[in-house]
Structure 1
Amino acid sequence: MEREVRIIGAPTDYGANRRGVDMGPSAIRYAGLADELRAAGADVTDTGDLLVPTAETRDPSVDEPKEEGRNAKFVREVEDVSLRLADQVAEAIDDGGVPLVLGGDHSIAIGCLSGSGRDADIGAIWFDAHGDYNTPETSPSGNIHGMPLAAALAHRDLADVEWANAPGLQEENVVWVGLRSLDEAERKGIRESEATAFTMSDIDEHGMSEIIDQALEIATDGVDGIHVSLDLDWLDPNEAPGVGTPVHGGATYREAHYALERVAEYDEEHDVLRSMDAVEVNPVLDEHNQTAKLATELAASALGKRIL
């Protein structure tokens, strides 16, 4: 199944607390992304990277919410990147392509979801160790890479941050797969939401096959398509060491490939994949570009690469 895959780099580290993740798009490309995608039958177009000033040239406190108890860094910078990225994602979809956005930290998902859900109802599958459901009120760190889903879903004190909200994203069609590290406020928010959360314990109990099939059914129910967000810390650090917030007990190499291969199979049957991101690859922390290589392989699996 040949399709255009449009690669968009978003080399940000505004949302993270470990430097180096802004080099993720370059590391993923260097690991052979275009060749992997062509092997999957894709017609590949690479639009290069968004122009993103380095964090050292910016003040993280400028335009930060000033109310007591609110904590968010680099708000102005994340807004700028998100708005420009949303336009590029929407344009790629309008042109008949599938945008594959390379992070950078996970704050880029704000722009991905906004662009993918422009003039469409969408669901999302969130492959991640973390919930990314904090807000400026609940975040211990103020790092926006821990807030993109809350922002997109206009959760709590982010409801009035219009640039970050994605009205096309339907909460009941959001599914986390592989959670294993949540802050207490996040845990409460996820329980109270209409979204679905599958933890690593669920995968242990039921197997990846059953979990990913349920996730696909939930995410695609009644929507125009889905966004797939792949945070490389979803995998166990033995598989993906080059991430800023590693958590032991993650998905194995084969579990991850199976899940993304199943996304591709489901897409072939139902034409549901609108957009995808691969984020949080930090080559400074990586070993022999292992994590970036894994990101290329998993993206190719999601976009149709097969063993046979």
Structure 2
Amino acid sequence: MADLRAQRRGWGVVGVPSSAAAHWPGLEKGPRALREAGLVEGLRSAGLSVVDHGDRPEARFRAARSAQEPNDVGRVVEVLKDATGAIGEIVAAGRRPLVLGGECTLTIALVSAFAEAGQEVGVVYVDGGQDLQLPGDHPEEPILDSMGMAHLLDLPGTVDALAGIGPRRPLLTPDRVCFYGFADDDEDVHGLVPALRFTAAEVTGDPVGTAVHAADAASRAADGFVIHLDVDVLDYLLLPAADVPQYGRGLRVSTLVQSLAIMAERPEFAGMTVAEFNPDHAAGDGSTARELVRALASILSHAPR
């Protein structure tokens, strides 16, 4: 991994404006809103070298459920395969990818892009939940947004077409994962995912210690780790950014920045997704997007140059 650390220089930003796997429309507007709030300029002002790869084609939510499958599976797979190729170009160029969503399934594309390049990465899953739902667990809510990690881990009962994205199955194993900052109940109801976990309360109580342990766990992978950031990890009443809010239970922005900055400064840090920002739920004056941009620039300013 020492060679890969030395080769990674700068950032490649790509937007994936998709709400195909979401509960409703809105997330497809996230990448544009972050750009209009000055994300790329903010990263450059923080001293980062950034190549902007633009946005992939938009995929807006639609009701398209087939029998016995979650909603719009085929389209979600198309979006992720396209995103894998775009992210792969960034990885091949030796840059760290920053993937702007869009919804949580995008982490499948991020890990898949590294795998296509022959690299094995771990994941720090910074999220209000764990996305370990299986299609059979809640047939009344057939939404893939809550199932992304289950498909990364190729758990029994997942959808073959989605779990099979990438050059190997599973793309990820529990020993290379840390669930970080979740406020929902533990979703490993089948006892299949013996991974490290830190609740929102534990992160709030010790942002530094939990961040170090999380990065250590994800760094067991041969080629470093990526951060999955779902903005629903934040308390919606303090920053109204999330598609599916956490009221009074999530992290403060300052806690998030402190902990993720510690992870980002690690030489093993290889890339990041930012998911679930719904501009329709945000402040109408653009201040929510601007605060997210400031937080991201602060976090990533700690990354190796």
Q: 1:43 & 1:78 partners in 2: Cα distance?
A: 31
Q: What is the rounded CA distance, in whole Å, between the counterparts of 1:292 and 1:238 in structure 2?
A: 15
Tell me which moved more, 135-144 or 161-170: 161-170
Task: Tell me the residue number matched to 1:260.
Answer: 260
Find 1:60's aligned residue among 64, 86, 92.
64
Give matches, 1:98-117, under 5 Å: 98-117=96-115
The structural deviation recorded for 1:166 is 5.8
Aligned equivalents of 1:251, 1:53: Cα separation in 2: 29
1:275 is matched with 271
1:73 positional shift: 0.6
Matches within 5 A, 1:17-36: 17-36=23-42
Distance 2:225 2:290 in 1: 24
TM-score by length of 2: 0.88
Aligned to 1:130: 129
Equivalence for 2:232 = 233
Alpha-carbon distance between aligned partners in 1 of 2:61 and 2:206, rounded to the nearest angstrom: 41
**Retained in 1: the 8 A contact 2:28–2:58?**
no
Residues 301 and 3 (structure 1), Cα distance of their counterparts in 2 relative to 1, 3 Å cut: farther
Superposition map of 1:1-308 within 5 A:
3-56=9-62, 60-61=64-65, 64=66, 66-67=67-68, 71-118=69-116, 119-139=118-138, 140-158=140-158, 160-161=160-161, 162-163=164-165, 167-182=170-185, 186-189=187-190, 191-204=191-204, 206-248=205-247, 249-266=249-266, 271-287=267-283, 288-304=285-301
- Asked if 1 retains the 8 angstrom alpha-carbon contact of 2:24 and 2:61, the reply is no
Q: What runs of 5+ residues in structure 1 fail to find an aligned partner?
A: none
Q: In 2, distance between residues paired with 1:175 and 1:96?
A: 25
Q: Secondary structure at the match of 2:206?
A: helix
Q: Which of 161-170 and 74-83 deviates more? A: 161-170
- Quote the RMSD (CA, aligned, Å): 2.2
SS at structure 1 position matched to 2:174: strand
Per-residue deviation, residues 114-159 of structure 1 (Å, max 9, x unmatched): 1133312210001110111112111341111111111111011127
Q: Note the C-alpha offset of 1:84.
A: 1.1
Once the two structures are superposed, residues 175-226 of structure 1 have per-residue CA deviations (whole angstroms, 9 ceiling, x without a partner) of 011111147xx2314x43132111123224x411111111011110242111
Counterparts in 2 of 1:225 and 1:149: CA distance versus 1, 3 Å: same
Aligned 8 A contact 1:134 1:147 in 2: yes
Is the partner of 2:218 in helix, strand or coil?
A: helix
Question: Cα 1:193–1:132, aligned 2, differ >3 Å: closer, same or farther?
Answer: same
Equivalent-residue separation in structure 2 for 1:208 and 1:300 (angstroms): 19
Query: 1:31 deviation in Å?
Result: 1.2
Is the contact between residue 21 and residue 104 of structure 1 (CA under 8 Å) also seen in structure 2? yes
Change (3 A) 1:290 1:132: farther
1:211-268 CA distances to partner (integer Å, 9 max, x unpaired)?
Answer: 11110111102421111111111111123212221112111121011012112222xx
**TM-score if structure 1 supplies the norm length?**
0.87
Identity fraction in percent:
26
CA deviation map 1:41-66 (0-9, x unaligned): 2221111111134335xx512xx3x3
